Amino acid sequence: MAESAGILGDGTKAVKIHHLIKAPENTSESISFRESWDASRPVTVYKTPENLPDGTPCTAATVILRTKGCAWWWKSGCTFCGYFNDVRDDVSADDMFSQWEFAKESTNNFEGCEMIKVYTSGTFFEDRENPPEWQDKVLSETKEMGLHLVVEAQAQMCTPEKISWVAERHPGCTVAIGLEAYDDKVLRFHVNKGFTIRQWHKAVDMLKDNRLRVKTYLIFKPPFMSEGVALNHTTSWLGDVAQFSDEVSVNPMNIQKRTVVDRLYRNKEYRPPWLWSLVEMIKQAHAKTSETGCRVIVHPTAGGKVRGAHNCGSCDVEVVAAIERYSVSGEISEFQGIDCSCKSHWRAELDNDLTLPVPLGTGAFRRGDPVDIIRAP
Ligand code: SF4
Ligand SMILES: [Zn+2]
């Protein structure tokens, strides 16, 4: 029965999301799959073009470590987060040191980079997730190498002691918090974030008191929300959080394997956002965000693919490129002259979402002829 459980149910006893999504991750097959990863190597190390806090273009190294994973995920977890696919709960302190050494060796001590993002699929400075002596080493070494450091954290993990400890070892670094939504109801029922707006504000104040930079992630189109409502919400959240952040990164939903969102998607109860919605959000929020001086980044992971933000298939490359250019230049003119016939399909979906009582939205598969899609059973 669990297999066919839809959002509205079929009259039988409700099935807990835990049993559909989390429990299968504790089967011996899932555990042995995760434990087949080499714990002494990071998940990945790569370089990308970036901007330093003062706007100067630079090269950034990104190191994604194979950690024990996010303490919140083990307890409950955000509805869209597939980071657990890359973690294993038996990673030792020695493994973490080997992964860090590997990252340095493979990049010749981050040669040519001025910025480094050290991502741990959770909170960098959470002691249950990452050994404190390892955190200390990464903070101090990146400081000595003159690299601007970006780490990630959950808001409730930011305590006065820990934040001042971080600021002592790497003054001025950036702490990125996945707030996702500036709305407590959405945080609780759509994202299952594990903290509230009040806790986020507290963390932001703490970071500012310690002269650390604040980066805020927002998610575009959490589950159980239509395209039209997502556009209205995220546009207003963007304006709201920009005034408290040095940088805001809006992450359009991409479907990560074995998550709540993945399950909804496979049940045809969720569609990733349209690229047009991202363009519209940027245009509507631009005046307000540019006033604050906050940098806005929109990076459509898997953009143009059906599991990422996408349009009709023929204009995707062009629209993704314009969004990426906007993230670097902050110029609204990047979208001038970009158009496609699928825009009217997108507009009709927004109008329907905002006028019909369909909480999950009216969106359907959007590749191919819209008339055929509507006719399809
Ligand atoms: S807090 Fe971050 S790492 Fe943890 S479950 Fe949520 S999105 Fe994933
Ligand atoms: Zn198109």
Per-residue pLDDT of the chain (377 residues; tens, 9 = 90+): 444 445 566 777 766 776 777 767 777 777 777 777 789 999 999 999 999 999 899 999 999 999 999 999 988 899 999 988 888 888 999 999 999 999 999 999 999 999 999 999 999 999 999 999 999 999 999 999 999 999 999 999 999 999 999 999 999 999 999 999 999 999 999 999 999 999 999 999 999 999 999 999 999 999 999 999 999 999 999 999 999 999 999 999 999 998 999 999 999 899 999 999 999 999 999 999 999 989 999 999 999 999 999 999 999 999 999 999 999 899 999 999 999 999 999 999 999 999 988 888 888 877 777 667 666 55
Q: What is the pLDDT of residue 14?
A: 67
> Are 46 and 61 spatial neighbours (Cβ–Cβ below 8 Å)?
yes
- What local confidence, expressed as pLDDT, does residue 2 receive? 45
131 φ/ψ sector (left φ>0, alpha ψ -120 to 50, else beta): beta
Q: Which atom of ligand 1 is nearest to the CA of 71?
A: 4
Predicted confidence at residue 376, as pLDDT, reads 59
Q: Which residues line ligand 1 (CB under 6 A)?
A: 70, 72-73, 77-78, 81, 83, 121-122, 154, 178
Is residue 153 within 8 A of residue 193, CB to CB? The reply is no
Mutate to test the pocket of ligand 1, among 21, 65, 70, 175 (most ligand atoms within 8 A of CB): 70
Distance in angstroms (rounded) separating the CA atoms of residues 276 and 116: 31
pTM comes to: 0.91
**Cβ count near 15 (within 10 Å):** 14
pLDDT at 294: 93
Residue 293 phi, psi (nearest 5): 80, 5
Please tell me the predicted confidence (pLDDT) of residue 367: 79
Please name each of the domains of the chain with its CATH number.
Answer: 2-375 (3.80.30.10)
Question: In DSSP terms, which residues pair with 177 in a beta bridge?
Answer: 153, 216
Per-residue pLDDT at 38: 86
How many helices and strands in the chain, by DSSP H and E? 14, 8
Give me the residues near ligand 2 (ion), CB cutoff below 5 Å: 311-312, 315, 340, 342
Residue 63's H or E segment, with its range, is strand 57-64
Q: Give CA–CA dist 212/90, Å, rounded.
A: 32
Q: In the prediction, which pLDDT does 1 show? A: 42
Which pair of tokens denotes residue 297? 């980044």
State the pLDDT at residue 90. 87
Task: Quote the pLDDT of residue 18.
Answer: 67
CA-nearest residue, atom 8 of ligand 1: 81
